[in-house]
Amino acid sequence: MATVGIDRAKVEANVLAAAEGDQDAFDWLVECYGRLVWSVIRSHGLSDADAHDAFQTTWLRLVEHLDRIREPRAVGGWLASTSRHESLRLLRHADRARPTPEEQFDQIEDAAETVDHDLIVAERDTQLWDALNELGERCRTLLRVLMADPPLSYEEVSQALDIPIGSIGPTRGRCLGQLREHLRTRGITG
Amino acid sequence: MSDDPQEGAPEGLSEHAVPQADEALLEDLRDVVHRLDPVPEEALLAARSTLAYLRLDAQLAQLTFDSLTDAPLVGVRSQTEVGRRLGFTADDNEVEVQVVAEGSQRRLIGQCVPADEVELTVTHQGPAHAGPSDASRTETVTDDLGRFVVEVAQGVISLRCRWPSTGRVVETAWVRL
Domain boundaries, position B90: 56-176
User: What distance in Å separates the CA atoms of residue B76 and residue A112, rounded to the nearest whole number?
Assistant: 31
pLDDT digits (tens, 9 = 90+) for A16-39: 999 999 999 999 999 999 999 999
Give residue A7's pLDDT.
86
User: Is the CB of residue B43 less than 8 Å away from at least one CB of chain A?
Assistant: yes
CATH number, domain of B89, equals 2.60.40.1940
Q: Do A64 and B173 touch (CB under 8 A)?
A: yes
pLDDT confidence bin for A48, thresholds 50/70/90: confident
State the nearest Cα–Cα gap between A88 and chain B, in angstroms.
12
Q: Is the dihedral of CA B123, B126, B131, B133 positive or negative?
A: negative
Residues 6+ apart with CB under 8 A from A167: none
Give residue B17's pLDDT.
54
In a domain? residue B33: no
Strand partners, B141: B119
pLDDT confidence bin for B5, thresholds 50/70/90: very low
State the nearest Cα–Cα gap between B57 and chain A, in angstroms.
12
B14 pLDDT more than 50: no
Q: Which residues on chain B are in Cβ contact (under 8 Å) with A85?
A: none
Give residue A27's pLDDT.
97
- List B residues 114-173 in contact with A (Cβ-Cβ < 8 A): 125, 127-129, 156, 173
Of A48, A57, A125, which is closest to B35 when you measure between CB atoms? A125
Percent of chain A past pLDDT 70, that is, above it, reads 81
State the nearest Cα–Cα gap between B98 and chain A, in angstroms.
17
Of A60, A66, A92, which is closest to B174 when you measure between CB atoms? A60
User: What distance in Å separates the CA atoms of residue B126 and residue B154, rounded to the nearest whole number?
Assistant: 6
**Average model confidence (pLDDT) across chain A:** 83
pLDDT digits (tens, 9 = 90+) for B42-84: 999 999 999 999 998 999 999 999 988 886 655 455 555 578 9
Interior CA angle at B73 toward B71 and B74, to 5°? 100
Of A56, A65, A93, which is closest to B47 when you measure between CB atoms? A56
pLDDT digits (tens, 9 = 90+) for B105-124: 999 999 999 999 999 999 99
User: What distance in Å separates the CA atoms of residue B102 and residue B81, rounded to the nearest whole number?
Assistant: 11
Q: Which of B139, B125, B40 is nearest to A63 (CA)?
A: B125
Give residue B52's pLDDT.
92
For residues B127 and A47, is the Cβ–Cβ distance under 8 A? no
In a domain? residue B138: yes
User: What distance in Å separates the CA atoms of residue A9 and residue A105, rounded to the nearest whole number?
Assistant: 42
Q: Which residues on chain B are in Cβ contact (under 8 Å) with A61?
A: 173-174
User: Is the CB of residue A190 less than 8 Å away from at least one CB of chain B?
Assistant: yes
Give residue B81's pLDDT.
57
Of A26, A126, A143, which is closest to B51 when you measure between CB atoms? A26
DSSP state of B15: G
Give residue A146's pLDDT.
92
Q: Which residues on chain A are in Cβ contact (under 8 Å) with B46?
A: 52, 55-56, 59
pLDDT digits (tens, 9 = 90+) for A84-142: 999 998 888 765 554 344 444 444 444 455 555 445 456 778 888 999 999 998 999 99
User: In terms of CA atoms, which chain B residue is nearest residue A2?
Assistant: B27
Tally the domains of chain B.
1
In a domain? residue B85: yes
Q: Which of A10, A44, A16 is nearest to A150 (CA)?
A: A10
pLDDT confidence bin for B140, thresholds 50/70/90: very high
User: Is the CB of residue A9 less than 8 Å away from at least one CB of chain B?
Assistant: no
User: Is the CB of residue B48 less than 8 Å away from at least one CB of chain A?
Assistant: yes
Highest mean pLDDT among A41-45, A152-156, A166-170, B128-132: A166-170
**Average model confidence (pLDDT) across chain B:** 84
State the nearest Cα–Cα gap between A17 and chain B, in angstroms.
12
User: Is the CB of residue B58 less than 8 Å away from at least one CB of chain A?
Assistant: no
Give the count of beta carbons closer than 10 Å to the beta carbon of residue B70.
13
| ipTM (interface pTM) | 0.80
Q: Which of A35, A21, A28 is nearest to A149 (CA)?
A: A35
